[in-house]
């Protein structure tokens, strides 16, 4: 069946929350996917930073297959070895003392768990940042800044103050002794890959500690090797070292390489604020998702992908910067945002890229975002950069024809 037919059936059967799909995909391998009409694409979005190992990676397929053949769902009345092993790996990754994990099915749910932890401090005030995206469930949406997402569902829960992202003085002015937590993305992905000043997170740690508030880092998009280190707040190229670990770190997206999972990791006193009965989830910590996550972590280590992310990311950023109609290139590793010259529409560029066989993302009208699989190669990057001038030419012609 052709793609147009599938799209028509999609529109007739699926709620219209995402608009019309750009493609109907049939299969994937590595960084490439094929649509139902047989056309091949290089995936430079990775399911929005999710497909850490690309598509159909043998290690991920083997781990999920083996686990499903052994033990699938078990409910939260029981534990499994993959769940415990993954929790120990994440505890070690985040650091701190008495670190504990609550597993979820998604990033938004991980942030819901974080929000509940903040309520158990006895305080309700949260400070979030302008441009932030923390999810679309009602609690996570209350922490998300974008008015278009918020307005249809207001009033939203919570007492939330938004401050300009990257502005330490504004943050200091907003945090009081009644503040439960400050939530920050180390790099804002949804806003177009916005990188704060180097000292921002360290300053946030000082400010929260001075007021007894929790520092909550949303690493849902930036974590699991995306910037070249396991977690972005540990990346010396992005930020100064924190004086002490964050109290809460939320993870999802790349953690299990496409198998749904999220994790809320808390340290110190924050790790024990939730008590039995305070929170729950049916599928969180599922052995299959946990086994998939362990396969992702093992493969990143075994194949040296953190170093590759740095090297391939540098190649991609340099090539993007060489295109004269790109005015700014930001980000680290394989989380990259670019600004386009005036008159160029990012949606037109994304459409032209698709026509040339490349999947890119346009999070804002002026910006593109790249978050490809961590297995992206130098040859893949060279292929895209060779096509980039023609892609921009086609987008410019589209705009000029309007």
Sequence-ordered list of residues with C-beta below 8 angstroms from that of 183, at least 6 positions apart, any chain = 111, 114, 126, 127, 128, 129, 132, 134, 143, 216, 217, 218
Helix (H, G, I), strand (E, B) or coil at 85: helix
Alpha-carbon dihedral 339, 337, 206, 253, rounded to 10 degrees: 150
Q: What are phi and psi of 281, to 5 degrees?
A: -165, 140
Q: Can you say how many angstroms the Cα of residue 358 is from the centroid of all Cα atoms in its chain?
A: 20
Helices (H), 254-371: 287-302, 305-321, 346-355
To 5 degrees, how large is the angle CA 286–CA 371–CA 262?
Answer: 20
Distance, CA of 317 to CA of 392 (rounded, Å)? 16
Binding residue ranges for pyridoxal 5'-phosphate: 107-108, 133, 218-221, 282
Annotated binding-site residue numbers for N(2)-acetyl-L-ornithine:
136, 281
Residue 22: exposed, middle, or buried by beta-carbon count in 10 A (0-12, 13-18, 19+)?
A: middle
Binding-site annotation: residue ranges: 107-108, 133, 136, 218-221, 281-282
Question: What is the radius of gyration, based on Cα positions, of the chain?
Answer: 21
Query: Nearest Cα to 191, choosing from 154, 159, 146?
Result: 146
- Cα 344 to Cα 191, 318, 366: the distances in Å are 18, 20, 7
């Amino acid at each position: 069946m052709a793609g147009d037919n599938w799209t028509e059936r999609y529109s007739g059967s699926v709620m219209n929350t995402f608009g019309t799909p750009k493609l109907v995909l049939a299969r994937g391998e590595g960084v490439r996917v094929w649509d139902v009409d047989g056309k091949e694409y290089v995936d430079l979005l990775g399911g929005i930073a999710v497909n850490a190992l690309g598509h159909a990676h043998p290690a991920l397929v083997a781990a999920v297959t083996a686990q499903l053949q052994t033990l699938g769902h078990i409910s939260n009345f029981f534990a499994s070895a993959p769940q415990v092993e993954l929790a120990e790996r994440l505890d070690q990754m985040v650091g701190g003392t008495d670190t504990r994990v609550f597993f979820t099915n998604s990033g938004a749910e991980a942030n819901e768990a974080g929000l509940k932890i903040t309520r158990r401090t006895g305080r309700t005030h949260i400070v979030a940042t302008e441009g932030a995206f923390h999810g679309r469930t009602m609690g996570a949406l209350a922490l998300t800044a974008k008015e278009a997402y918020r307005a249809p569902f207001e009033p939203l829960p919570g007492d939330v103050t938004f401050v300009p992202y990257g502005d330490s003085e504004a943050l200091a002015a907003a945090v009081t002794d009644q503040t439960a937590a400050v939530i920050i993305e180390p790099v804002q992905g949804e806003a177009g890959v916005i990188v704060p000043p180097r000292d921002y997170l360290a300053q946030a740690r000082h400010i929260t500690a001075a007021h007894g508030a929790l520092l909550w880092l949303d690493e849902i998009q930036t974590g699991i090797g995306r910037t070249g280190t396991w977690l972005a707040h540990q990346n010396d190229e992005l930020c100064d070292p924190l004086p002490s670990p964050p109290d809460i770190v939320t993870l999802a997206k790349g953690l299990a390489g496409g198998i749904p999972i999220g994790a809320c990791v808390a340290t110190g006193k924050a790790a024990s604020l939730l008590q039995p009965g305070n929170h729950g989830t049916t599928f969180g910590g599922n052995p299959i998702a946990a086994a998939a996550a362990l396969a992702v972590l093992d493969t990143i280590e075994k194949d040296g992908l953190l170093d590759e992310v740095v090297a391939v990311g540098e190649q991609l950023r340099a090539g993007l910067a060489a295109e004269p109609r790109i005015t700014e290139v930001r980000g680290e590793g394989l989380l990259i945002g670019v600004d386009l010259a005036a008159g160029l529409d990012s949606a037109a560029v994304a459409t032209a890229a698709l026509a040339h066989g490349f999947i890119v993302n346009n999070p804002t009208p002026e910006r593109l975002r790249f978050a490809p699989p961590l297995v992206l190669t130098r040859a893949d990057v060279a292929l895209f950069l060779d096509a980039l001038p023609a892609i921009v030419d086609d987008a410019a012609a589209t705009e000029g024809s309007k």
